[in-house]
Amino acid sequence: MKRANGRTVTAHLTHGDEYFGAVGPYEVAEGWWSAAAPVVERVSAELGVPVVVLRLTGGVSPDGGHGGHGGQVTYHVEALERPAGPVPRRPGPETLALLGPATRRAGWATPAGLREALDWAGQALGRAGRPAAGPAEQIRTWNLSGLFRYRTATGAGAWLKTINPAFNSREGDVIALLGTADATLVPAVLGSDPARGWLLLDHIPGRDCWGPSAEEVADVVPRLVAAQAALAADGRAAAAGLRDRTLPVLLAQVDALLDRLGAEPPAAPAGDGSGGGSGAGLTAAELTAARALAGRLPALAAELTACGLPDTLVHGDFHPGNWRSDGTRSVVVDYADASFGHPAMDGLRPRQYVDEERWAQAAGVWARAWREHVPGSDPERALELFEPFYHLAYAVRYQEFLDHIETSERPYHEDDPASELRAALACADAV
């Protein structure tokens, strides 16, 4: 699907308890709804005061649906200083409902919560001997995380990441664990508050590896495998308290998800004119097929286990955009989805982000690396067998997202559990 190059943005502006109305609409570059930087730049320039994007309040993609890219988008924007131009006004009932408190709102999506996180990061930089050389630059904000960049007095950059600890891993702990196997594979942690989901990381020179080179694949994939094999071999991964995504647990989670979706009204078949349906978006026939697949999973799991690969620390989102390379060595970032489970979850992840040639290379490198560390294993067959589990695991994960985010942020992931269940059905007959 072709992505839009920009979006039309309207911002509901507040400063503390004051509401200054909606500003915009503005056309901004970068179509991703979560990309906060161009919104901050445009609104700050208009008002003459620094602002931050707190959260999405609504969005419609160019095709009239959701999807998180392009179209018309509205945000709640907080001015960090009182603007001189706009006049405060009393918001109407709809705006009050839009901007008022909500259950499951992320801490960084509130003025107080965001200021608290930024203050903590500034203090952590000071303790690290690298005081901030200016205010944080907001890069990304959405239902899953906030990302802010700091320039420091030493010249080295740093990054604040905020996540919801209720449904994400303790990233600092995961980085520390993986670093015991390969310290060069992970970013340096400058500060961590896992209870509040705050993480301060050293800047990593280089580029994000979208469209990775053959050299980058050959570097990062076997290094991750080596670290995972080491953590499995001595029991460190099993003892780390990671989220359990082992096959027996995943099978139970899939059954629970299907029971839950089955209790909702099924979606209407395409083209029957009746419309409607549940948030799950699955037809009755699809739910029946999904239950039939669930019945096959124990046998598939047994065959997968026989391939000989151990459960270990799984990154959970090991696509090339989470690899960062300076041309010599790659570092892996973003461990919010980390778990304890089957390593084929990471082995399959690059597939949808690279072309066929690069995927063939990545799969081959991954399989050779595992065979080296676990002689007698069958990694190629494991990749084939794991494909339906891969999609089912993402269906479970996306439902976890939806269960922990507020209503206005659901468009990012509303359709994802159903999409992943359909993908599992599409590939199940091939294994």
In this predicted structure, the answer to whether residue 201 has a pLDDT above a threshold of 50 is: yes
**Mean pLDDT computed over 391-412:** 93
Helix (H) or strand (E) holding 254: helix 247-262
Q: What is the pLDDT of residues 20-57, one digit of tens each?
A: 999 999 999 889 999 999 999 999 999 999 999 999 99
Pairing of strands 207-208, 18-29: unpaired
Sign of the torsion formed by the C-alpha atoms of 358, 341, 161 and 19: positive
Rounded to whole angstroms, what are the CA distances from 353 to 82, 221, 362?
Answer: 43, 14, 11
Q: What is the pLDDT of residues 121-175, one digit of tens each?
A: 999 999 999 999 999 999 999 989 999 999 999 988 999 999 999 999 999 999 9
pLDDT at position 265: 72
How many angstroms from the chain centroid is the CA of residue 340? 17
- For the chain, the structural domain boundaries read 6-100, 109-202, 207-428
In this predicted structure, the answer to whether residue 210 has a pLDDT above a threshold of 60 is: yes
Q: What is the mean pLDDT of the chain?
A: 92
Looking at the chain, the whole-number percentage of residues with pLDDT higher than 70 is 95
Angle subtended at Cα 221 by Cα 220 and Cα 227, rounded to the nearest 5 degrees = 90
pLDDT at position 276: 32
CATH topology of domain 207-428: Aminoglycoside 3'-phosphotransferase; Chain: A, domain 2 (3.90.1200)
Report the amino acid identity of residue 104.
R
pLDDT at position 283: 92
The rounded distance, in Å, linking the Cα atoms of 224 and 28 is 38
The DSSP call for residue 322 is G
**Mean pLDDT computed over 7-14:** 96
Q: Does domain 109-202 sit in CATH 3.30.200.20?
A: yes
**Per-residue pLDDT band at 267 (split at 50, 70, 90):** low
In this predicted structure, the answer to whether residue 428 has a pLDDT above a threshold of 60 is: yes
Report the amino acid identity of residue 398.
Y
